Amino acid sequence: MFPASDRGFSRRDTALFAGCMLLAVTALFTPDRITSAIATGLRQTVLAPLVWLQEQAEAGRGSRARLKSLLAERDSAAFAAQFLPSLTAENERLRALLGLSHRLRTPYVAAEVLHQAQVTDARMLLLSVGQADGVASFDPIVAPEGLVGVIWNAGQHTSVAMTWAHPEFRVSAFTANGSAYGIVAASPNATGSDAYLEFRGVPYRDSVVAGTVVLSSGLGGVYPKGIPIGTVMGVIREEAGWARVYRVRPAANPASTGHVLVLIGRRVGSVGEAFSSDTLEPSPRSDSMKVERRPRPAPPRATAPVPAVRPKADSTKAVPESTARPRPDSILRSPRPPRASPDSARPDSTP
């Protein structure tokens, strides 16, 4: 037997269950417009807190999904932005290299610089072209900015290049205005990022102002004439009072060079017009190393002697003796003197 309290709860539960079943049956057979109105009223009154909680749960779930998507997009954009400056610089450099290749009149081979992770990376470079591409030793290497170096050793498909920073680098050079000639070599005292070139052998009487562009002179047959090497920055030292050594800032940086052009085959005498710059205009002195020969004057031709002039007492004008008229009382006419030939005529001869 159940206690009295338990019997009360059981009756109450039974009544609630019966009421719910009655409401369910009534709602099942009630028209839709009535049930819709009842459901709307319940949602706006009794079930309003529950509806609000459900809306907040859905908003939180959607916010977390959008946050994950935004984080993924931000990470992708940040990753791509890290390579954007390098891609832009590489694109601009390739455009400049393409423009240089269109302006060159000499055969060339485009090469990619395979930088080596070594201590001598700034002095020696590995290129992606070799003898199979027509590259040989002592072929110049140029960039849109100017001279990079020269091929040191050419393999079958790769080549080792010597840059201007190598201690054995030498190139005959002259200033853009043609005022001074000399030899450009790497400075032995420069280290790290302070690397620069030296313009040596400039006569003491030929002063070079700062900012003057130094070009290859074409002497020696290795480097064509007109390749920019660098810009003069100032005087480093004087050698025994007869020559000056100038400091030159290099035009091209091998450490940041990714693509270059290797000049191969038979090269033209000058490539200065391929490098677009207002300071690279050739001067009349730098265009030719020959001394201008002036034609010798022709020897003076012998002329007939000038007849002597006999002054008259009654006239201020002198009449030549040969042109004076004979007197009327003269019977015989004096014969004319023979004409002097050019070979026998002399300036001091008399008629």
Q: How many CB atoms lie within 10 A of CB 141?
A: 27
Res 135: pLDDT = 93
Euclidean distance between CA atoms 158 and 61, whole angstroms: 59
265 with 134, same domain: the answer is yes
Look at residues 252, 287, 322 and tell me which one is the last residue of a structural domain.
287
134 with 252, same domain: the answer is yes
97 with 173, same domain: the answer is no
What is the three-class DSSP state of 325?
Answer: coil
Handedness of CA 246, 249, 251, 256 (dihedral sign): positive
117 with 92, same domain: the answer is no
Look at residues 287, 309, 339 and tell me which one is the last residue of a structural domain.
287
Q: Supply the CATH number for residue 269's domain.
A: 2.40.10.350
Is residue 77 a part of any domain in this protein? yes
203 with 263, same domain: the answer is yes
Is residue 149 a part of any domain in this protein? yes
98 with 162, same domain: the answer is no
Is residue 305 a part of any domain in this protein? no
Contact in structure between 216 and 173 (CB atoms under 8 Å)? yes
127 with 226, same domain: the answer is yes
**Residue 320 region by backbone torsions, left for phi larger than 0, else alpha for psi between -120 and 50, else beta:** beta
Res 343: pLDDT = 47
Is residue 256 a part of any domain in this protein? yes
142: Cα within 13 Å, side-chain hemisphere: 32
Domain count, the chain: 2
Contact in structure between 222 and 200 (CB atoms under 8 Å)? no
206 with 264, same domain: the answer is yes
pTM for the whole structure = 0.56
The 8 Å CB, 24+ separation contacts for 313-320 are none
Helix, strand, coil % in the chain, rounded to nearest 5 = 35, 25, 45
Is residue 321 a part of any domain in this protein? no
Res 118: pLDDT = 59
157 with 237, same domain: the answer is yes
Domain that holds residue 184: 108-287
Encode the chain (351 residues) as per-residue pLDDT tens digits. 545 555 556 888 888 888 888 888 887 888 888 878 877 887 788 888 888 888 888 888 888 888 888 888 888 888 888 777 777 777 777 787 788 888 888 889 999 988 764 555 558 889 999 999 999 999 999 998 899 999 999 999 999 999 998 889 999 999 988 889 999 998 887 665 667 899 998 988 888 999 999 999 988 889 999 999 999 999 988 877 788 899 999 998 888 788 899 999 877 778 878 886 544 444 433 333 333 434 444 555 545 554 544 544 444 444 444 444 444 444 344 445 445 444 444 444 433
Look at residues 103, 120, 139 and tell me which one is the last residue of a structural domain.
103
Euclidean distance between CA atoms 269 and 283, whole angstroms: 15
Is residue 341 a part of any domain in this protein? no
72 with 191, same domain: the answer is no
Rg (CA), the chain: 51
151 with 176, same domain: the answer is yes
74 with 177, same domain: the answer is no
Widest CA span in the chain:
203
